[in-house]
Amino acid sequence: SCRGPAKKGAVGFGGTENFLERFLVFLAYQNYYNYPLPTYLEYPILIAQDVILLLAVSHYNGSVKQALPYLTIFTFGWHLLTIQKWIIDLAMSLCTLISVTSKFIQLKCIWQARDSGQASALTWGMAVYTSATRILTTLMTTGDFQVLARFVLLLILNSWVMMTILYYRKTGKKQE
């Protein structure tokens, strides 16, 4: 379902993606191929931020002990990714597939609701800008086809989501 409890419109986008795993895979991929640190420096920071956030949420929910298995899986997963080239390449492809699927789910939710709800066009605009800059930096540094394909797809889909949000924001105002 695309609707959250007791809310109207498209909501709940964050639940369709698990950023931590994708940050981990992207970091491992960049590290495995010995790409320059500036091309992926934000990923270790984002991973640390997510781990701290998850631990804080677990602490305040009283379930820190339940977070320990996830930390173990996280550590094991990091080492597993870098064992062989085909594993990291497959993981990167799957992350791209998950990202693309997530964008389509988000679009479907907005279309079904015929309302962009609380979705922020500015946030999606920043995602478009980020994808475009990542395309340029990848072209200037590594030229990695898999990374380029990922960011081209994300640029197209992020733009589509942003335009859909703006469209339904305008049609919602016309109806009022």
Q: What is the mean pLDDT of residues 37-47?
A: 74
Is residue 5 domain-resident? no
Q: Which has the closest alpha carbon to 71: 11, 24, 116?
A: 24
- pLDDT confidence of 12, banded at 50, 70, 90? very low
Are both 91 and 134 inside the same structural domain? no
Domain boundary among 69, 92, 115: 115
Q: What is the pLDDT of residues 139-162, one digit of tens each?
A: 999 999 999 999 999 999 999 999
Are both 63 and 133 inside the same structural domain? no
Domain membership of residue 82 as a residue range: 13-115
Q: What is the mean pLDDT of residues 50-71?
A: 75
Tell me how many domains the chain contains.
2
CA–CA gap between residue 107 and residue 114 (Å, rounded): 10
Q: What is the mean pLDDT of residues 40-54?
A: 73
Is residue 4 domain-resident? no
Q: Which has the closest alpha carbon to 165: 102, 105, 122, 101?
A: 122
Are both 98 and 151 inside the same structural domain? no
The pTM (predicted TM-score) of the whole model is: 0.73
| DSSP per-residue string spanning 55-80 | HHHHHHTT-HHHHHHHHHHHHHHHHH
